[in-house]
A and B are shown apart, each in its own frame.
Chain A
Amino acid sequence: GAVVSQHPSWVICKSGTSVKIECRSLDFQATTMFWYRQFPKQSLMLMATSNEGSKATYEQGVEKDKFLINHASLTLSTLTVTSAHPEDSSFYICSARLAGAQSEQFFGPGTRLTVL
């Protein structure tokens, strides 16, 4: 299957700083990328959907000014957690999909963010 990578795999930062997480589709072009958040022992919660070259669509309750998403190319999407606070500590997972709503979604390995 297709491969999606995330970088970094884990990051620890101080409260108030910003953290950027990259998501790349390594062997295919992803017209749509998704960002999920997973709390310990809980399910994945969709944060936002982004299509290459357009603004991301955020789920209700997700602050778009706090979680900045840039889908600059067909193989790269970034999530920037701005002014991070301890409650932003979580596991962030991206997913990428080929064109077409019935295409399979491929998931990245996730990024563990810890805000001190």
Chain B
Amino acid sequence: GENVEQHPSTLSVQEGDSAVIKCTYSDSASNYFPWYKQELGKGPQLIIDIRSNVGEKKDQRIAVTLNKTAKHFSLHITETQPEDSAVYFCAASEEDMRFGAGTRLTVKP
């Protein structure tokens, strides 16, 4: 089955800086790559996703890039704010959806 690796496991940035989280996947048949944000006491919430026929997608301060040849994709958050502090998960989907181990992002005011 699919194996998704996510780095770093923790990330601390100053408010206003950018944050980048990277994921690699193993199954070349995977064709859908969502990112989720999980706040304390809540389930993961979809924040952005990308399909395999697209190399980059942007939504306000967040963007995702996909390199299908290298089998890696990244989440970029610009102008970070304290409310961006949470655990972020990447995922890759072919027959079912498999998740990375998560990145705990802390944005210091």
The judgment on whether A and B are partners is: no
Question: B residues touching A (Cβ–Cβ < 8 Å)?
Answer: none
Question: A residues touching B (Cβ–Cβ < 8 Å)?
Answer: none
